[in-house]
Structure 1
Amino acid sequence: MSFPWAKHYEPTTEVGKWIDSRLPLPRLIYDSVGAGYPVPKNLNYFYNFGVLAGVALVVQIITGIILAMHYTPNVGLAFNSVEHIMRDVNSGWMLRYMHAVGASFFFIVVYLHIFRGLYYGSYKPPREVLWLLGMVIYLLMMATGFMGYVLVWGQMSFWGATVITNLFSAIPVVGEAIHTWLLGGFSPDNATLNRFFSLHYLLPFVIFGVVILHVWALHIPGSNNPTGVDIKGPQDTVPFHPYYTAKDFFGLGVYFTLFAIVVFYLPNALGEPDNYIAANPLSTPAHIVPEWYYWPFYAILRAFTVNFLWVPAKLWGVLAMFSAILLLFFLPWLDKSPVRSNNYRPLSKLFFWVFVVDCLILGLCGGKPAAEPWLRISQFAAAYYFAHFLIILPIISRIERPLPLPKSISEAVLTNAGHSVEAARAAVAAVPQPAA
């Protein structure tokens, strides 16, 4: 987004001018994350999660590259190569835990980033493409995480790969062919491990590329803000640096503190004990479960237990699981309310928190055995999940009466700081406007 009042990069040395005329990388950085990029002055700490997600991705790429130097993608050697990394490679245990724990932290940050976007309406015009690219990143993350989980070749890795890939066989006509193509055979074996290893290594770089597009799409309309009100002038913005770089560094400090605590003191808290047993195709675990960040969708998959309309329950579950993710792509067109932020939509805010609780219930059910009462609870929770997007949001967007919106971001900031609306508007009017 072009702001007339934004500062522009001007090199001050001959070397800087020479570089700027041939490869304007400093100009790009200055205009993207420096003083040349004005952002809304009212962004809170929930807007830190985009930067945290980018840093988490970099940590995953760096640790993954080093781990790949010592890993052997062979069914007879994979599990032992992981043990070799843990026991014999210098600081290998730390790298492995950083990568495994880092995956969980990456998903935590991304989930918070998504829920923040849902609450503040960051998916609404003109940021639809930004939202769609974010959902593409999320899908790529899910695929990358699943393939990485399989590489350990422990009991849960092997049986998780068996169960999840077998879901594709439920697709009529082409299901069995897709299943065989994914595995490279009729069951998880060397071909499966090799292709999962190569894709797990490749996809983070694809994610990085989509992240660049995501940031580019962000800079076209500019950042959303907690009020959802568009920027009206220079009084509504501050330079990204130093105001939000300082805020982001504080967020990074908190993030890495929590990350270090889990890596060094609770590294296995988010993992499955069965995955520390070498894969055995002849011994099925009592309870097969994916990583925790897939649990809500796993609960939706298992919620279908009865054949309906001559369609097997397994196929209904697969369709529902993929539809649960696909619905998020259509969110900008399902919620037609012109007001973005739930701060000014009391009814939408109420159902947003109901939706958050519903997702937590689905996550809880996904991690439990496929038995009562968890199956029944997951069925009700899955029904509400789809009702929220297909029924509740469209109805609310039509019948809800939003609260009065502030005329500008500055007015909202000054009002929240204790000034009256009249004083806030007078202060905003006193700010000189840029020349046309």
Structure 2
Amino acid sequence: MSFPWAKQYEPKQPLMRWLDEKLPVPRLVYNAVGAGYPVPRNLNYFWNFGVLAGAALGIQIITGIVLAMHYAANGGVAFGSVESIMRDVNAGWFLRYAHANGASMFLLVVYIHIARGLYYGSYKAPREMVWLLGVVIFLLMMATAFMGYVLPWGQMSFWGAQVITGFFSAIPLVGESIRIWLLGGYAPDNAALNRFFSLHYLLPFVTAGVIILHIWALHIPGSNNPTGVDVKGKQDTVPFHPYYTAKDAVGLGVFLLIFATLIFFSPNLLGHPDNYIEANPLSTPAHIVPEWYFLPFYAILKSFTADFILPAKLWGVLAMFGSILLLFFLPWLDTSPVRSSNYRPKYRGFLIVLLVDVLLLGYVGGAEANARNVILGQLASAYYFLHFLVILPLVSSSERPRALPNSITEAVLTKHGGTSPAQTALAN
């Protein structure tokens, strides 16, 4: 989107003028994250999480590159090389814990970022491409995180790879061939470890490239805002710098404080103790579970226990992947012209129920597979798909939203006790 009132970049120094003429990187940065990029004046702290996700990715790439200098992707020595990093490499324990916990922090930030998009309708026109690229980033992150979890070559690493890749064998006719192709053999071993390591190293850079496209797509229509009302003019915006760079700095400080607390005081809180036991193909752990950020999808996978036309295993695989791919169609499943849930009370209620449902799926995914938990997982899985495929289209076509403000400025002034332009006109 073109903002005629945006401040234009005018280099003052001769060197900067010369650089702007030959390679306009300063202009690009100024227009992307500086005073040349106007943003809605009413953004709250939920809009910090995009920047926090970028910071988390940067931490993962930097720590991952250094760890790769010391890691050996060989089934015979991989576990020992990780232990050597912890004990013998200068600050190796810090790098390893920062990388392992950084993955959890990265996924946590992204989950909150997605929840904000769902609540404020950031997937609606004209920002469909921003949302679609975001889902692509989410899929890349999940693939990267899974392959990274295999690399320590502990018990959970080995058996997690065995179980997850085993689901591909449920695909009729070609499933077993795909599984063998992925692993490079009939079971996780050196070939699988090398493949996962190379892809785990590569995919973060692919993710960074898609993030650049994501930001580019965002700058075309401009940022959404808590009211969901389009920008009407200069009075509705403020420059990104210094207003939101300062706000993002506060959010980043809080993020780093929580991250540091996790690393220094409870680095193994989110890990599994069995992963400190070297991988043993002859000893199956009593309870195989993935990392916490995969648990809701793992619960959906486990919810199919009986064959019906297709094998239960195949139904579980289709449902697990379908639960993520469903997000691609969200801009067209929600047909309401109102974006923000602040003005859609009925939709907001169902969104809260969805949040509780996802948390329940997370609990079931990590719990023992007894009869009660299986039923809970089946009910929660059914509601997840019901929300997107049935409830959302019905609510968006039938609800009567509350009246929207005429502009962002009016909403801000009314919220803070000021007088909106409409109220001033009526008073006169």
TM-score (norm 2): 0.98
SS of equivalent residue, structure 2 residue 250: helix
Match of 1:108 in 2: 108
Task: Give the Cα separation in 2 of the matches to 1:282 and 1:425.
Answer: 78
SS of equivalent residue, structure 2 residue 103: helix
Gaps of 5+ in 1: 428-436
Structure 2 residue identity aligned to 1:112: I
SS of equivalent residue, structure 2 residue 238: strand
Task: Give the Cα separation in 2 of the matches to 1:329 and 1:172.
Answer: 25
Q: Please tell me whether residue 159 in structure 1 is matched to residue 159 in structure 2.
A: yes
Structure 1 residue identity aligned to 2:315: W
Match of 1:414 in 2: 413
Match of 1:434 in 2: none
Match of 1:404 in 2: 403
- Counterparts of 1:166-185 in structure 2, within 5 Å, are 166-185=166-185
Q: Please tell me whether residue 221 in structure 1 is matched to residue 221 in structure 2.
A: yes
Task: Give the Cα separation in 2 of the matches to 1:408 and 1:325.
Answer: 34
Aligned residues, how many?
426
Is the 8 Å Cα contact of residues 20 and 26 (structure 2) preserved in structure 1? Answer: yes
Deviation at 1:421, TM superposition (A): 4.7
Task: Give the Cα separation in 2 of the matches to 1:423 and 1:172.
Answer: 64
SS of equivalent residue, structure 2 residue 395: helix
Task: Give the Cα separation in 1 of the matches to 2:421 and 2:110.
Answer: 39
Task: Give the Cα separation in 2 of the matches to 1:409 and 1:148.
Answer: 43
SS of equivalent residue, structure 1 residue 330: helix
Aligned-residue CA RMSD (Å): 1.0
Is the 8 Å Cα contact of residues 168 and 175 (structure 1) preserved in structure 2? Answer: yes
Match of 1:345 in 2: 344
Is the 8 Å Cα contact of residues 411 and 424 (structure 1) preserved in structure 2? Answer: no
Match of 1:433 in 2: none
SS of equivalent residue, structure 1 residue 238: strand
Deviation at 1:424, TM superposition (A): 5.5
Task: Give the Cα separation in 2 of the matches to 1:277 and 1:16.
Answer: 56
Match of 1:361 in 2: 360
Is the 8 Å Cα contact of residues 133 and 210 (structure 1) preserved in structure 2? Answer: yes
Match of 1:303 in 2: 303
Deviation at 1:372, TM superposition (A): 2.4
Task: Give the Cα separation in 2 of the matches to 1:415 and 1:392.
Answer: 33
Offset from partner CA, 1:114-161 (integer Å, 9 cap, x none): 000000000000000000000000000000000000000000000000
Task: Give the Cα separation in 1 of the matches to 2:423 and 2:247.
Answer: 25
Deviation at 1:423, TM superposition (A): 6.0
Match of 2:16 in 1: 16
Is the 8 Å Cα contact of residues 169 and 175 (structure 2) preserved in structure 1? Answer: yes
Offset from partner CA, 1:282-312 (integer Å, 9 cap, x none): 0000000000000000000000001112x11
Match of 1:321 in 2: 320
Gaps of 5+ in 2: none
- Counterparts of 1:127-138 in structure 2, within 5 Å, are 127-138=127-138
Q: Please tell me whether residue 147 in structure 1 is matched to residue 116 in structure 2.
A: no
Distance 1:100 1:418, change over 3 A: same
Seq. identity, %: 70
Deviation at 1:85, TM superposition (A): 0.3
- Counterparts of 1:209-248 in structure 2, within 5 Å, are 209-248=209-248
Is the 8 Å Cα contact of residues 40 and 237 (structure 2) preserved in structure 1? Answer: yes
Is the 8 Å Cα contact of residues 121 and 341 (structure 1) preserved in structure 2? Answer: yes
Deviation above 2 Å: which 4+ runs of structure 1?
A: 419-427
TM-score (norm 1): 0.97
Match of 1:28 in 2: 28
Match of 1:64 in 2: 64
Task: Give the Cα separation in 1 of the matches to 2:197 and 2:420.
Answer: 59
Q: Please tell me whether residue 82 in structure 1 is matched to residue 82 in structure 2.
A: yes
Offset from partner CA, 1:364-392 (integer Å, 9 cap, x none): 11011222211110100000000000000
Task: Give the Cα separation in 1 of the matches to 2:69 and 2:275.
Answer: 22
Task: Give the Cα separation in 1 of the matches to 2:222 and 2:312.
Answer: 45
Is the 8 Å Cα contact of residues 410 and 421 (structure 2) preserved in structure 1? Answer: no
Is the 8 Å Cα contact of residues 415 and 424 (structure 1) preserved in structure 2? Answer: no
SS of equivalent residue, structure 1 residue 63: helix
Is the 8 Å Cα contact of residues 167 and 314 (structure 1) preserved in structure 2? Answer: yes
- Counterparts of 1:230-269 in structure 2, within 5 Å, are 230-269=230-269
Is the 8 Å Cα contact of residues 409 and 420 (structure 2) preserved in structure 1? Answer: no
Task: Give the Cα separation in 1 of the matches to 2:333 and 2:229.
Answer: 20
Task: Give the Cα separation in 1 of the matches to 2:370 and 2:425.
Answer: 63
Offset from partner CA, 1:239-293 (integer Å, 9 cap, x none): 0000000000000000000000000001000000000000000000000000000
Deviation at 1:233, TM superposition (A): 0.2
SS of equivalent residue, structure 1 residue 39: strand
Task: Give the Cα separation in 2 of the matches to 1:66 and 1:241.
Answer: 33
Is the 8 Å Cα contact of residues 50 and 113 (structure 1) preserved in structure 2? Answer: yes
